[in-house]
Chain A
C-alpha cells in the first residue's frame, strides 16, 4: 500500500487505502469520519497510517484534485469532527478545555508532517534537500501550534501544586518534540534500510567482478596469447566454460566427488583437458558413489582416454544411466574403429584397465566396433544400495 500523491486532501491516506482495497475513496473517507465520531478513533488510525505508510513515488503526471471531491472530503472531515465534539459534550466526558488544546496541537502536528511529505517529494524530484522559505515558515508555524496546544492543555488541566513544575514542563516538551520529529525518525529508518540493500548489492557485485576477473578475463587473455594454436584455444575455452557453468549453477568443484554424476563429470573434464577434445556427457538419475561404481567411473575414463588417443575424433560422447539395480555407462566415438581380434596381446588398455576393473567388481563390458564405424564401450555395474530419489 502507498499513500496517494495526487488528489489528496490531508496526506493521501484515504486515497491510498481506497486504491489498496479497490473501493471508492468516498466510502473510505466516510468510514474515517464515522470512526472519528466514535471517540476519535478515526484520527488515531489516520495518524498511524500516515506515519507508517510511504507516499507513492513521484510520477510525471500528477493530476489536480477534483474540486468537488475535495469539498466532499473536507465536508466529511468536518462532519466527523463535529459529531465527535458534539457527542463528547453530550456525554460530558470531555470539556472544551481538554479537547480544544489537543485539537490545536493535532493541527500543528499535521502541518509539520505534511511539510515533511513535501520535503520528501522535493527530494525525489530535485534530488536536493533545500526546503525553501515557505517550507520553513510552515514547519515553524506547525511546531508553534503544537507547543501552544500542549501548553494550553497543561495550564488548564494540571495543578502545579501536585507536581513539580519543572518536571511537567520537561515531559511536555519531550512529548512535543517526539510528535514533531516523527517524520524525521521514519525517514531515518527507511534510509537505513535502503542503505543496507544498496550495500549488499554492491558487495555481491564486487564478488562477481572478482570472480570474473580471476577466471574469465584471465582465460580470455590466455586465449589471445595462444591464438595461433586452435587446439589450445579450444581447450582453454572448454575448461573455462565448464568452470563458469559450475560456478553459475552452484556445483562444487575440486572436491572428491560424492555422487556418480559428479564423478563422471570430473572424469570427462579431465579427459577434455588432457586431450583437447570435447566430451559431452548425459547422466540420467544419480546415486552415491560406492566401490563398484568408483571402478565403473575409472573404467569409463579409461575408455574415453582410449577413444581420445586412437579414434582420431574431436568428440567422445558419454551416457550414463542409474537404475535401481545397476548403473550403465556408454562411451562412444564416431572415429576409426578397430578390429578387436587384431589388437596385440601386449596392449593392455582395454583388457587390463577396463575389463579387469569391471570383472573384479562383478561388472560387464561389451564392445561394439568395426573398422570405420566408430567404437562404443558399454559398461554395466550392479548396485548394492537402493536408488537415491
Chain B
C-alpha cells in the first residue's frame, strides 16, 4: 500500500513541482492533498487523514510549527517531515522540537525524498547531514555547558554520537550499519532515540544554542 502524503507549502509552484515529482517517479507514495496556509493545512489534514505531511517551515501565520501544534492538539495520528529552504539552526531545531519526525532541505533529490517519506511513515526519523551536525553540536560537552539534570535525555550515548557523525558525513543508513558492524534496524533505533532526546531534553543549552548559532 502506498504512503498517503499531504503537501503544505505557501508556494503553489513548489507544491506543483513536488507533486509532479512524487507522482511520476514512484507508486510508493501518493499525494492526497495540498494546502497553502496554516488554516487550509489543518482543515485538509483533518479531512484527508494522510500518513505523512510534508511541511514547509516558513509560512505566514506561524509557519509549520503552528500546523504541528494545532494537529497535535487534535490528537491525529500523522507524522510530519519538515521540508525547507532554510538551513538556519533555529528553524531546524524548533520544528524538530515542535514534533516533526525529520528535516530535509528542498534541494533533496526526488528519490531521496521518497525514501525519507517512506522512512518517517514507518515511524523512523530522518536526519539530513546538517541536522545531524546541529544535534551533535547542541549536545556537545563544552566547557561551561549547562548542568545535566536528566542524563537519560540530556546526554547522547557514544554509539548515538557515532551514528550521528556518520549521518553528518553523508552516510546512508546501510553504510552506517556496515561501518559500525550493526544492523540497519539498530541504526534506525539509535536515530529515533536521538530524535526523542532532541525533542524532549530540557537542557538549557539546546534552545540557547539554536538561537546563538545562526548558522547557514
Contacts and interface: CB of A to CB of B under 8 A. Distances in A.
B177 interface: no
B170 A319 contact: yes
Contacts of A317: 129, 169-170
B187 interface: no
Interface residues of B, number: 21
Interface size class, chain A: 20 to 34
Contacts of B17: none
A278 B107 CA distance: 11
B143 interface: yes
Given A250-B214, A321-B165, A285 B170 contact: no
Contacts of A319: 129, 133, 165, 168-170
The 10 A-B residue pairs whose C-beta atoms are closest, nearest first, are: A282-B133, A317-B170, A245-B216, A319-B169, A284-B137, A249-B216, A282-B168, A284-B136, A389-B142, A282-B129
A249 B137 contact: no
Contacts of B169: 282, 317, 319, 330, 332, 376
A258 interface: no
B215 interface: yes
Q: Count chain A CB atoms within 10 A of each CB in B145, B165, B169, B214 and give the residue with the most.
A: B169
Contacts of A251: 216
Nearest to B141: A324
A282 B140 contact: no
B137 A389 contact: no
Interface in A309-360: 317, 319, 321, 330, 332
Contact of B168 (A246, A284, A376, A387): A284
B98 to A, nearest CB: 21
B216 A285 contact: no
Interface string B117-155: 000000000000110110011001011110000000000
B88 interface: yes
A146 B129 CA distance: 76
Contacts of B107: 278
Q: Count chain A CB atoms within 10 A of each CB in B129, B137, B216 and give the residue with the most.
A: B216
Query: Chain B at the A interface: mostly helix, strand, loop or mixed?
Result: loop
Interface of A: 245-246, 248-251, 261, 278, 280, 282-285, 317, 319, 321, 330, 332, 376, 386-387, 389
Nearest to A328: B165
A19 B137 CA distance: 48
A41 to B, nearest CB: 46
Nearest to A282: B133
Given A282-B129, A387-B142, A387-B143, A321 B136 contact: yes
Contacts of B214: 249-250
Contacts of B129: 280, 282, 317, 319
Given A284-B140, A389-B143, 12 more contacts: A245-B87, A249-B216, A251-B216, A280-B129, A282-B132, A283-B215, A285-B140, A317-B170, A319-B170, A321-B136, A376-B169, A389-B145
A284 B88 contact: no
A345 to B, nearest CB: 30
Contacts of B132: 282
Contacts of A389: 142-145
30 contacts: A245-B87, A245-B216, A248-B216, A249-B214, A249-B215, A249-B216, A251-B216, A278-B107, A280-B129, A280-B130, A280-B170, A282-B129, A282-B130, A282-B132, A282-B168, A283-B133, A284-B133, A284-B137, A285-B140, A285-B142, A317-B170, A319-B129, A319-B133, A319-B169, A330-B169, A332-B169, A332-B170, A386-B143, A387-B142, A389-B144
